[in-house]
Structure 1
């Protein structure tokens, strides 16, 4: 895992087509903007964790 410090207005690129930009950061809250192709799924961690708690029934 890569851990970076970024300030508002700064960003990182993932590959050639995904940009993650810090929009706002204060008092422990962080706002990110993610620019990615429409076919790239973006799922919040808490949603993914909840989904994995309950295995699909076959």
Structure 2
């Protein structure tokens, strides 16, 4: 599945994960680079948000 994470520094990361919990772990790993994690979204193949995870 494809996910997008939004951060405090107004940057985003797009990444693949096998589950929502794996996506949360992956997103939290980027906090060292971007600051506080604000949102995680599941994306479809066209990169449109289909669901909010966090």
State the TM-score, normalized to the length of structure 1: 0.27
More strand by share: 2
Greater RCO structure (CA 8 Å; 6+ sep): 2
State the TM-score, normalized to the length of structure 2: 0.28
- Structure of larger gyration radius: 1
